[in-house]
């Protein structure tokens, strides 16, 4: 077993619950007469480790050759998967696949009518839980049996199967086209974030409309996802919110799908909250957060581990955003102390994209509460991470915020180097905008000046940025950092938190709409 697969085995064991571990030991010991089989010994050694350590495993089994130990790991991995499949056989999809496998076995034995009987049960379950992809597989197996063997089915059986097969294939082709487009848009956002200029807007606009399916249906969840991602990427958060409402409504009108796919419903609520956050609509945001939390509370006992992880991500993201939308940076910074511990507890369950976003939000909250050392610590996690291909926009603005934090800390000797380093990074990513240029110019000019005599420079930068931010493509930095409020706090010699709260009382920000190309 390769090193990568060994880590996969270790991670799988670490994700097991107590009941799953107990079931595995019974399952693995069921036909073995030895008191403690080698497989279970290996399982116990891995289970006791907090971090994967190959040397400790080798020392625990000194008589085993490397190839034998590798084979034992592979065997243990398969046994674990088999045990989990049996334990979770009540899951609709697993149960349907189980019935299909029974039908295959009966088919091999030549018991065709019995095979069709198992497929009939599987189809009923697939229809009940709306698992259309497995329905199509079942129909194809039914067609195979009916076309090769005399089963004495009724006269219209062949016509019914052909008609049902055609209908489902057409449905899958249409939904698959939307699904492919949704995935490609999501991949674009993970790599590049929001559109930075008109050229990028026209590019993503053309790609979106050229790849849309020609046909249209009243309700297709993947179509809603595509529109949500398109408007989110292009910063049209009002339209984005409208389509998240359609997304959530699709599940709210179909309780069976909501029970089967709670993660998709939670994701719709999560995207709605993200759009409301960027619209600065605190009233609707708080209503949406209450709805998400109530759904999680009412259903979390039936969630699997994946759904529990997503519930954690979505609820915590919204909680952090709530501190921003209400201007409560100090409260948010305090909350981060416990939250950072929960991130570490869930480290193996969270993808690096989510972790980086969490660290940026924590850095921004600490910056807003004047904890600049704390902000720099979180920003260094992002800046020094080896995988720079993910979340390029977060990478860019982490460096900008890092520059300003060092300026606040008075680290004048570091700022010149940081400016050059950040400038090279942004040029490499082709992400150098007027906002960054204005901030760089200010820091170069002001870093060695007496801080008490900088008010005119702060005012000058503020006026320059206000003019720059009239361009809707240049407003992207304000999605991550309210630079204007920071400047006003320096001019008025007041905490940035007070400035932001005063602005919140005036109502939501009005976001300039990006003009669509003709």
CATH number at residue 332: 1.25.40
Contact (Cβ atoms closer than 8 angstroms) between residue 266 and residue 295: yes
Closest CA relative to residue 405, chosen from 393, 414, 392, 417 = 414
Domain assignment of residue 99, yes or no: no
Q: Which residue has the higher pLDDT, 37 or 199?
A: 199
pLDDT at 15: 86
Q: What is the pLDDT of residues 50-72, one digit of tens each?
A: 888 888 888 888 888 888 888 88
Q: Which residue has the higher pLDDT, 215 or 208?
A: 208
pLDDT at 150: 56
Q: Which residue has the higher pLDDT, 334 or 440?
A: 334
- Which of these ranges, 104-108, 216-220, 224-228, 445-449, has the smallest mean pLDDT? 216-220
Closest CA relative to residue 435, chosen from 482, 498, 394 = 482
Domain assignment of residue 371, yes or no: yes
Q: Compute the average pLDDT of residues 291-306.
A: 92
Cβ neighbours of residue 100 closer than 8 Å, sequence gap 6 or more: 118, 119, 122, 134, 137, 138, 141
**391 HSE (CA, 13 A, CB side):** 21
Distance separating alpha carbons of residues 451 and 407, to the nearest angstrom? 10
Q: Compute the average pLDDT of residues 200-227.
A: 83
Q: Compute the average pLDDT of residues 278-300.
A: 94
Q: Which residue has the higher pLDDT, 511 or 229?
A: 229
In the block, tokens 């010991």 appear at: 29
- Buried b vs exposed e over 205-227: b needs ≥16 C-beta within 10 Å? beebeeebbeeeeeebbbbbbbb
Residue count of the chain, please give it: 518
Q: Compute the average pLDDT of residues 473-498.
A: 81
> Does residue 82 carry a pLDDT above 70?
yes
- Which tokens belong to 381? 């996690």
Domain assignment of residue 491, yes or no: yes
Q: Is 167 helix (H, G, I), strand (E, B) or coil?
A: helix
Closest CA relative to residue 405, chosen from 439, 440, 367 = 367
CA 76 vs. chain centroid, Å, equals: 30
Q: At what angle do helices 392-409 and 434-446 cross, to 10 degrees?
A: 20
pLDDT at 430: 66
- Which of these ranges, 290-294, 328-332, 514-518, has the smallest mean pLDDT? 514-518
Q: Which residue has the higher pLDDT, 114 or 471?
A: 114
Mean pLDDT of the chain: 85
pLDDT at 512: 42
In the block, tokens 């009540």 appear at: 90
Closest CA relative to residue 268, chosen from 210, 222, 215 = 222
Domain assignment of residue 433, yes or no: yes
The 3-state secondary structure of 56-114, one letter per residue:
HHHHHCCCCCHHHHHHHHHHHHHHHHHHHHHHCCCCHHHHHHHHHHHHHHHHHCCCHHH
Instruction: Please report which confidence band the pLDDT of residue 152 belongs to, taking 50, 70 and 90 as the band edges.
Output: low
Q: How far is CA 441 from CA 258, 412, 437, 474, in A?
A: 52, 15, 6, 17
pLDDT at 477: 67
Domain assignment of residue 476, yes or no: yes
End-of-domain residue from the set 23, 53, 87: 87
Domain assignment of residue 62, yes or no: yes
End-of-domain residue from the set 26, 56, 87: 87
> Does residue 510 carry a pLDDT above 70?
no
Instruction: Please report which confidence band the pLDDT of residue 268 belongs to, taking 50, 70 and 90 as the band edges.
Output: very high
Closest CA relative to residue 251, chosen from 264, 238, 234 = 264
- Which tokens belong to 190? 């993970």
Q: At what angle do helices 496-505 and 329-345 cross, to 10 degrees?
A: 100
% the chain with pLDDT above 70: 90
Q: Compute the average pLDDT of residues 474-496.
A: 81
End-of-domain residue from the set 87, 121, 152: 87
Q: Compute the average pLDDT of residues 354-370.
A: 93
Instruction: Please report which confidence band the pLDDT of residue 132 belongs to, taking 50, 70 and 90 as the band edges.
Output: confident
- The residue segments making up the domain with residue 52 are 3-87
Q: Compute the average pLDDT of residues 387-412.
A: 80
pLDDT at 388: 58
Domain assignment of residue 234, yes or no: no
> Does residue 186 carry a pLDDT above 70?
yes
pLDDT at 479: 66
Specify whether the backbone of 327 is left (phi greater than 0), alpha (psi in -120 to 50) or beta.
left
pLDDT at 518: 43
Number of structural domains the chain divides into: 2
pLDDT at 517: 46
Instruction: Please report which confidence band the pLDDT of residue 129 belongs to, taking 50, 70 and 90 as the band edges.
Output: confident
Distance separating alpha carbons of residues 494 and 438, to the nearest angstrom? 23
Closest CA relative to residue 464, chosen from 434, 485, 489, 494 = 434
- Which of these ranges, 205-209, 314-318, 338-342, 474-478, has the smallest mean pLDDT? 474-478
Domain assignment of residue 126, yes or no: no
pLDDT at 371: 95
Contact (Cβ atoms closer than 8 angstroms) between residue 118 and residue 112: no
């Amino acid at each position: 077993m390769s090193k990568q697969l060994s880590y996969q085995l270790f991670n799988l064991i670490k994700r097991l619950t107590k009941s799953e571990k107990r079931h595995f030991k019974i399952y693995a010991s069921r036909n073995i007469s030895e008191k403690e089989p080698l497989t279970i010994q290996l399982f116990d050694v891995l289970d006791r480790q907090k971090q994967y350590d190959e040397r400790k495993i080798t020392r625990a089994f000194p008589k085993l050759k490397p190839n034998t130990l590798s084979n034992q790991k592979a065997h243990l991995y398969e046994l674990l998967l088999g045990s989990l499949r049996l334990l979770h056989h009540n899951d609709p999809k697993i149960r349907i696949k189980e019935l299909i496998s029974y039908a295959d076995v009966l088919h091999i034995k030549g018991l065709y009518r019995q095979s069709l009987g198992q497929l009939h049960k599987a189809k009923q379950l697939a229809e009940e839980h709306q698992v259309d992809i497995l329905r199509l597989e079942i129909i194809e197996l039914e067609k195979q049996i009916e076309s090769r063997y005399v089963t004495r089915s009724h006269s219209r059986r062949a016509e019914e199967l052909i008609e049902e097969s055609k209908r489902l294939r057409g449905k899958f082709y249409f939904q698959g086209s939307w699904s492919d487009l949704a995935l490609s848009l999501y991949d674009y956002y993970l790599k590049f974030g929001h559109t930075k200029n008109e050229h990028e807007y026209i590019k993503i606009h053309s790609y979106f409309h050229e790849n849309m399916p020609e046909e249209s249906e009243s309700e297709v969840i993947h179509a809603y996802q595509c529109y949500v991602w398109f408007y989110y990427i292009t910063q049209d958060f009002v339209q984005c919110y409208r389509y998240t409402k359609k997304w959530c409504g699709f599940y709210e009108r179909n309780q069976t799908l909501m029970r089967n796919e709670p993660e998709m419903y939670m994701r719709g609520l999560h995207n709605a909250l993200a759009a409301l956050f960027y619209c600065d609509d605190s009233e609707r945001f708080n209503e949406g957060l209450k709805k998400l939390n109530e759904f999680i509370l009412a259903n979390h006992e039936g969630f699997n581990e994946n759904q529990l992880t997503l519930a954690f991500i979505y609820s915590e993201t919204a909680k952090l955003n709530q501190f921003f939308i209400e201007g409560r940076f100090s409260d948010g910074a305090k909350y981060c102390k416990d939250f950072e511990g929960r991130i570490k507890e869930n480290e193996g369950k969270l993808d690096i994209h989510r972790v980086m976003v969490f660290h940026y939000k924590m850095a921004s909250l600490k910056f807003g509460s004047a904890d600049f050392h704390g902000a720099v610590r979180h920003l260094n996690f992002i800046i020094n991470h080896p995988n720079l291909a993910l979340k390029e926009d977060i990478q860019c603005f982490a460096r900008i915020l890092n520059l300003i934090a060092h300026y606040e800390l008075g680290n004048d000797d570091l700022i010149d180097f940081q400016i050059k380093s950040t400038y090279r990074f942004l040029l490499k990513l082709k992400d150098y905008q007027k906002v960054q240029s204005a901030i760089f110019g200010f820091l170069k000019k002001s870093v060695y000046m007496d801080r008490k005599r900088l008010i005119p420079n702060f005012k000058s930068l503020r006026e320059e940025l206000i003019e720059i931010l009239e361009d809707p493509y240049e407003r992207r930095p304000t999605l991550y950092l309210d630079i204007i409020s920071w400047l006003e706090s320096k001019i008025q010699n007041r905490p940035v938190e007070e400035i932001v709260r005063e602005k919140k009382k005036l109502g939501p920000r009005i976001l300039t709409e990006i003009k669509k190309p003709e």
